[in-house]
Amino acid sequence: MSAIAMPLPDATIIARREEVAAGLRRILGDAHVIDAEDERRAYETDALTAYRAVPLAVALPSTTEEVAEVLAFLGALRVKVIPRGAGTSLSGGALPTEDAVVVGLGRMNRILSIDYDNRVARVQAGVTNINITNAVSGNGFFYAPDPSSQLACTIAGNIAMNSGGAHCLKYGVTTNNVLGLRIVLIDGTILDIGGDALDAPGLDLLGLVIGSEGQFGIVTEATVRILRGPEGARPMLMGFASAEAAGACVAAIIGSGIVPVAIEYMDRPAIKVCEAFAKAGYPLDVEALLIIEVEGSEGEIEDLIGRIRAIAAPFDPTATRVSRSEAESAAIWKGRKAAFGAMGRIADYICMDGVIPTGRLPEVLNGVAKIGERYGLAIANIFHAGDGNLHPLVLFNANDPVELHKAEDAGADILRLCVEVGGCLTGEHGVGVEKRELMVDQFDPVDLAAQMRVKSVFDPAWLLNPAKVFPLAGRPVPAA
Amino acid sequence: MSEEQAILTPGDEAELAAIIADAAAARRPLAVEGGGALRGLGRPLQAAATLSTRRLTGVTLYEPTELVVSARAGTPLAEVENLLAGERQRLAFEPPDWRALYGSDGVPTVGGVAAANLSGPRRITAGAARDSLIGLRFVDGRGEVVKNGGRVMKNVTGYDLVKFLAGSYGTLAVMSEVTFKVQPMPEVEATLVLQGLDDRRAIAALAAGLGSPYGVTGAAHVPAQNGTPARTLLRLDGFTASVDYRLGRLAEDLVDFGSAARIEAAPSAALWKSIRDLSVFASPAGVPVWRVSVRPGDGPSVAEAARKSFACRVLYDWGGGLVWIAGGDGPDAGASVIRPAARAAGGYATLARAPEPLRAANDVFDPPASALMALTRRLKDTFDPAGILNPGRMYAGV
Ligand SMILES: Cc1cc2nc3c(=O)[nH]c(=O)nc-3n(C[C@H](O)[C@H](O)[C@H](O)COP(=O)(O)OP(=O)(O)OC[C@H]3O[C@@H](n4cnc5c(N)ncnc54)[C@H](O)[C@@H]3O)c2cc1C
Q: Does B356 have pLDDT greater than 70?
A: yes
Binary contact (A259, B187; C-beta < 8 A): no
The pTM for the full model equals 0.97
Per-residue pLDDT at A343: 85
Shortest CA gap B30–chain A (Å): 19
Q: Which residues pair with A41 in a beta bridge?
A: none
Mean pLDDT of B54-64: 97
Q: How many CB atoms lie within 10 A of CB A363?
A: 15
- Amino acid B67 reads L
Question: Among A49, A81, A107, A153, which is best to mutate for testing ligand 1, by the most ligand atoms less than 8 A from CB?
Answer: A153
CATH 3.30.43.10 residue window(s) in chain A: 10-104
Binary contact (A198, B366; C-beta < 8 A): no
Q: Are A186 and A75 in contact (CB under 8 A)?
A: yes
CATH architecture of the domain with residue range B279-361: 2-Layer Sandwich (3.30)
Does the beta carbon of A390 lie under 8 angstroms from any beta carbon of chain B? Answer: no
Closest chain A residue to the Cα of B346, Cα to Cα: A196
Q: Does B2 have pLDDT greater than 60?
A: no
Structure letter (DSSP) for residue B118: -
Does the beta carbon of B291 lie under 8 angstroms from any beta carbon of chain A? Answer: no
Report chain A residues whose CB lies below 8 A from the CB of B350: 201
- Ligand 1: atom nearest CA of A83 is 47
Cα A335 from Cα B237, distance rounded (Å) = 33
Q: Is B320 left (phi over 0), alpha (psi -120 to 50) or beta?
A: left
Closest chain A residue to the Cα of B149, Cα to Cα: A424
CATH 3.30.465.10 residue window(s) in chain A: 117-228
Per-residue pLDDT at A2: 54
All residues at 6 or more sequence positions from B54 whose CB lies less than 8 Å from its CB, including other chains = B9, B34, B35, B36, B74, B107, B109
Using only C-alpha atoms, chain A has a radius of gyration, in whole angstroms, of 23
Closest CB from B297, B368, B382 relative to A118:
B297
Reported confidence tier of residue B1, pLDDT bands at 50, 70, 90: very low
Closest CB from B152, B318, B383 relative to A356:
B152
Closest CB from A176, A428, A469 relative to B158:
A469
CATH 3.30.70.2190 residue window(s) in chain B: 188-276
Binary contact (A191, B372; C-beta < 8 A): yes
Q: Does B302 have pLDDT greater than 90?
A: yes
CATH 3.30.70.3450 residue window(s) in chain A: 233-340
User: Reduced to 3 states, what is the DSSP secondary structure of residue B170?
Assistant: coil
Taking the centre of ligand 1 as the mean of its atom positions, its distance from the CA of residue A161, in whole angstroms, is 6
Closest CB from B65, B160, B372 relative to A207:
B160
CATH, domain A344-420, list 3.30.70.2740, 3.40.50.2300, 3.40.718.10, 1.10.150.120: 3.30.70.2740
Reported confidence tier of residue B4, pLDDT bands at 50, 70, 90: low
Report residues of chain A scoring pLDDT below 70.
1-2
Shortest CA gap B253–chain A (Å): 14
Sheet order of strands, A80-84 included: A33-34, A57-59, A100-104, A80-84
Q: Does B164 have pLDDT greater than 90?
A: yes
pLDDT tens digit string along B104-124? 999 999 999 999 999 999 999
User: Reduced to 3 states, what is the DSSP secondary structure of residue B299?
Assistant: helix
Q: What percent of chain B has pLDDT over 90?
A: 95
User: Reduced to 3 states, what is the DSSP secondary structure of residue B76?
Assistant: strand
CATH 3.30.465.10 assigned to A117-228? yes
Does the beta carbon of A223 lie under 8 angstroms from any beta carbon of chain B? Answer: no
Ligand 1 site, residue A85, Cβ cutoff 6 A: yes
Q: What is the DSSP string of A395-421?
A: EE-TT-HHHHHHHHHHHHHHHHHHHHT
Does the beta carbon of A384 lie under 8 angstroms from any beta carbon of chain B? Answer: yes
Hey, what CATH class is A10-104 in?
Answer: alpha beta
Cα A245 from Cα A248, distance rounded (Å) = 5
CATH architecture of the domain with residue range B1-185+367-398: 2-Layer Sandwich (3.30)
- Ligand 1: atom nearest CA of A220 is 41
Cα B21 from Cα B145, distance rounded (Å) = 10
Q: Are B182 and B67 in contact (CB under 8 A)?
A: yes
Does the beta carbon of B147 lie under 8 angstroms from any beta carbon of chain A? Answer: yes
User: Regarding the domain delimited by B188-276, which CATH topology (the fold level of the hierarchy) does it fall under?
Assistant: Alpha-Beta Plaits (3.30.70)
Shortest CA gap A119–chain B (Å): 8
User: Reduced to 3 states, what is the DSSP secondary structure of residue B211?
Assistant: coil
Ligand 1 site, residue A50, Cβ cutoff 6 A: no
Cα A417 from Cα A437, distance rounded (Å) = 15
Q: Does B243 have pLDDT greater than 50?
A: yes
Task: Decide the pairing of beta strands B188-195 and B260-263.
Answer: antiparallel
CA distances from A401 to A346, A396, A397 (A): 18, 10, 8
Ligand 1 site, residue A86, Cβ cutoff 6 A: yes
Report chain A residues whose CB lies below 8 A from the CB of B367: 201-202
Hey, what CATH class is A233-340 in?
Answer: alpha beta
Binary contact (B164, A207; C-beta < 8 A): yes
Report chain A residues whose CB lies below 8 A from the CB of B247: none
Per-residue pLDDT at B189: 98
Taking CA atoms only, the protein residue closest to ligand 1 atom 14 is A149
Binary contact (B318, A257; C-beta < 8 A): no
Q: Are A194 and A257 in contact (CB under 8 A)?
A: no
Mutate to test the interface with A, among B145, B152, B217, B301 (most CBs of A within 10 A): B152
pLDDT tens digit string along B281-296? 999 999 999 999 999 9
Cα A191 from Cα A220, distance rounded (Å) = 10
